[in-house]
Copies of this chain bind each other. A is one copy, B any other.
Amino acid sequence: MSTPWSKMAQNTPSSVVRDMLQAAQAPGMISLAGGLPAQTSFPLEAIRLAYEKVFMSGSAALQYAETEGYRPLRVKIAERLESKGLPASPDHMLLTTGSQQSIDLICRILLDPGDRVLVESPTYLAALQVIQSYQGVSHGVACDDHGMLPESLEEQLQLHRPKLVYINPTFSNPTGKVWSRERRQQAVDLCRKYSVLILEDDPYGEIRFNPEQLDVPALAALDAASYEGPSNVIYTSTFSKTVAPGLRTGWILAAPDIVKIAARAKQGADLHSSSIDQRALHALLETFDLDGHIRHISQDYEERMKKLTTLMASKSWDGITWNSPQGGMFLWLQLPEGMLASNLFTYGIQEKVCIVPGDSFYAGTPELNRMRINFTHTDPELLPEAVERMDRAIQRWHASNQSDHVVTM
């Protein structure tokens, strides 16, 4: 008997990148592929103490809990958001098992098969996959270094009448770019004009190398400042990059009706996320200097990024360029025309260095000569060797006569 898969299952292909990450597990591989924070950055001792506090407070943490999530943690998160200029209330918030679940729940409550979603070009791969799994159709909006181009956004809003605009505007995955304040306001205004909701995915926004130099409020904050009534922006973030991903705790902040319906969807999906982890995060936030910790991580990441780009620059690779991110976890590489990222990936694997080709990060026709580099996970001591290997992979490419053919592994 062959299993009668649903259309959802049929529209949930295995992630190409996931398969690549399997390659990254090979012995001796240096991986700049995954989107992982530095394991050395996790405040292990503070987290340990936080869990200890939870268990000292009795067994309530072990019982079933409300779908919306542990309320005192929602209060803490709302306070943090308010302190950063984003109006927030614990009643307009749903705790989730990380940002990925936030994206999934929002697609679940909004998308019917055939519904359109506008996304950045390129955009976060796993969001594309979730949209596809609900049989939604993603359309890429043209972007430059400052965000979505307003004329492209408006044209596509008119053309596609989308249900949602999904964006990752601050230190985007995969590019590491940050939208300017002006572009944020323009997107907020255009989506209000066409009555289209924005899903602002902000996992990296707090990882800022020079916070004082950046004036980039969340689109949710700009929307609240510009318009009365319920927010038109669904804002989601997570503790995965500021504390640790293993705690699997993110949140959705949105208009009350969105939060209410998302909570119903979550009740069907898993009743609630781990209340122990939520309570531990709450205990952590009571005493731990999270802002100081984030400053510390951000400095560490900036140093790693600078070390990597300095090493790369010393190689004088012909026609290969990259940006200099002001935060987040990723660099975006541009290869010369005709140098296929997928081929360079293969040569990289042969040299035991793993970098992700950009191809999978596009809703429509991909740019084939882009690559994403994560600079936060690999031990900085390994970066010189990683760049040597990248250099040898590039030499392999030059030595081959197959610049425009696909090389198989």
Contact = CB atoms under 8 A, between A and B. Distances in A.
A275 interface: yes
A98 B270 contact: yes
A333 to B, nearest CB: 23
Contacts of A255: 3
A250 to B, nearest CB: 9
A245 interface: yes
A48 B55 contact: yes
B268 A62 contact: no
A409 interface: no
B36 A246 contact: no
Contacts of A232: 1
Contact of A261 (B9, B109, B110, B111): B9
A40 B60 CA distance: 10
Interface in A154-193: 163
A269 interface: yes
What is the total number of copies of this protein in its complex? 2
Size bin of chain A's contact surface: 35 or more
Interface stretch (A85-93, A100-108, A299-307, A390-398): A100-108
B276 A8 contact: no
A292 interface: no
Contacts of A201: none
Given A55-B48, A268-B126, A269-B101, A110 B5 contact: yes
Interface stretch (A11-19, A348-356, A399-407): A11-19
Interface in A209-246: 232, 240, 244-246
Contact of A272 (B39, B248, B269): B248
A207 interface: no
A267 B163 CA distance: 23
Interface of A: 1, 3-9, 12-15, 18, 34, 36-37, 39-40, 42, 44, 47-48, 51-52, 55, 58-65, 96-98, 100-101, 104, 108-112, 115, 126, 129-130, 133-134, 163, 195, 197, 232, 240, 244-248, 255, 257-258, 261, 264-265, 267-277
